[in-house]
Structure 1
């Protein structure tokens, strides 16, 4: 597919691109930050662990890369309390139009340095990459996605570079949260048509490069992990959220409004942790100057 990466980039980020014109995820599909405050609550627990491991720096960063409408950044800012809140600087990074959010800085470029936690929530899947059909000669494919004749794939090298660059700016931790796949499944032919897809107004639609839809593809998170290197772990969202204190168990010993509120929260957490749904997202966590073991306990390796 000739210059598919360029066409994809123009369709999303060009002058008349999907995101350039102001589209946000909330308009087209349901993502974890839109479900409720629970994801932000879990990330604040992770941020507190990063803060402790860093020794409580005078300034603590939370950077939301690919922020979309800024819902996650705004929730983290509003939920932070105590001395951590006083030291917290929240930055949303996105190529779309800037949003006015209390306590949140907005920029189109990654900060030069991040002292705290950087999160790319469904960011990597929106980074354009070449779309190819086998046979196709490419070092990345040779290493990460052996491609049989007639099979389709996405060359994830641009995502690897973007993630390595982001992690390289961090002291603390960097977290990528996305839907993705692993080399063993790719090599076994689990994705014969690749994973390139398009969405508009909550529905999957045929991909076109005219700026009318969101274009996306699953992320080779194992390749991104190796590209960024260092101390890292790749686990499921389901397990990570449990390790950060989010349980979907039914409320007990409550009545009335308190029971209703607790039941609603349990339902939202259950959606975030649902197997085969959001719970199957991969969490790729890198510790930079901070041992990953200080941030998450040992967890089963991620399987998409």
Structure 2
């Protein structure tokens, strides 16, 4: 049955036998969380900054939206100082079932808590919120319909009024054949997160683009078993598209965010203390075991900050009742 990409992707990823209901993300692609424990260590520094900015509340929420199998929360629990660890309330938000054997200290929900005081982390979540795809034709913008069995596409009706308005504001198409992914559902999802934040900070990290440099043919892609595949919405692969993070930022501001920071993962992680610098070579002679540990740390940090890889991620940081810069030892550059 021909349908829009948003509906087809939602079924393929999140239906009862959908891709994410039966498959752990770490089996199919490598995120910053899986790349190195240094990512959780850097975010632990962020938690400490938020905790101080909020006056060290009795309970500090840490909510991971799109938590996978809670790998990041487990890493944060291990990396946090003991005094802070005792006050953390860790919550994984995920549509899949709770993994067997997960530590009881980690809560598991299908939607974020109604009131959050602390930190919300959305690491590679927004790119998996399904979106429709629109193509420019001689007759104007048209919704692309997809066959969920084959992945074949054909042109459909004009986009809805709401989607057309979003496209005019955030991703105007001009040349026949140009494509856009309509990010309005992601804006709405992010705004919902911000509205639930009573005090604290929300951060989204994802492959992203902004209005000044939208990709002319879109970014819709499929992944399975660590390889790029043709995106077919039949439940056999992950289906993803990069995020119009500037549009999400505007939606968060409308939802009540007091402060907004748009930067890159490379800049944010450097501001949180990561360097990726090789240790002094003389350590190889004076303390070889320590040298090897430091060399491994440097390699992992370099991967997280690689400007052609994970470091190219966009970071959207928005806050309620605190300054975004308070969470970073050094304010990150754009």
The interval holding the TM-score normalised by the smaller chain is: over 0.9
Alignment of 1:98-137 (within 5 A): 98-99=98-99, 100-102=101-103, 103-134=105-136, 135-136=140-141
* 1:242 counterpart SS class: helix
Deviation at 1:153, TM superposition (A): 1.0
* 2:98 counterpart SS class: coil
1:202-232: CA deviation from partner (whole Å, max 9, x where unpaired):
1111111110000000000000000001311
**TM-score after normalising by structure 1:** 0.94
* 2:203 counterpart SS class: strand
Count of residue correspondences: 296
Worse-superposed segment, 248-257 or 209-218: 248-257
Q: How far apart in 1 are the matches of 2:233 and 2:17? A: 11
Matched-pair contact (CA < 8 Å) for 2:270–2:332: no
1:142 maps to 2:174: no
Q: How far apart in 2 are the matches of 1:257 and 1:160? A: 48
Q: How far apart in 1 are the matches of 2:74 and 2:106? A: 7
**TM-score after normalising by structure 2:** 0.86
Alignment of 1:239-278 (within 5 A): 239-252=267-280, 254=283, 255-278=287-310
1:238 maps to 2:238: no
Matched-pair contact (CA < 8 Å) for 1:74–1:101: no
Q: 2:193 aligns with which of 161, 166, 178?
A: 166
* 1:199 counterpart SS class: strand
Higher Cα radius of gyration: 2
Matched-pair contact (CA < 8 Å) for 1:12–1:20: yes
- What is the RMSD of the two structures over their aligned residues, measured on CA atoms? 1.3
Runs of 4+ in structure 1 deviating by more than 4 angstroms, as ranges, are: none
1:266-302: CA deviation from partner (whole Å, max 9, x where unpaired):
100000000111001011001111111212344332x
Unaligned runs of 5+ in 1: none
Report what 2:238 is aligned to: 214
* 2:97 counterpart SS class: coil
Q: How far apart in 1 are the matches of 2:64 and 2:188? A: 18
Q: How far apart in 1 are the matches of 2:177 and 2:220? A: 15
* 1:19 counterpart SS class: helix
1:215-264: CA deviation from partner (whole Å, max 9, x where unpaired):
00000000000000131101111111111011111112532211111100
Q: How far apart in 1 are the matches of 2:315 and 2:43? A: 12
Deviation at 1:124, TM superposition (A): 0.1
Q: How far apart in 2 are the matches of 1:175 and 1:164? A: 12
Q: How far apart in 2 are the matches of 1:214 and 1:263? A: 34
1:181 maps to 2:209: yes
Deviation at 1:169, TM superposition (A): 0.8
Matched-pair contact (CA < 8 Å) for 2:48–2:327: no
Matched-pair contact (CA < 8 Å) for 2:131–2:181: yes
Matched-pair contact (CA < 8 Å) for 1:35–1:268: yes
* 2:20 counterpart SS class: coil
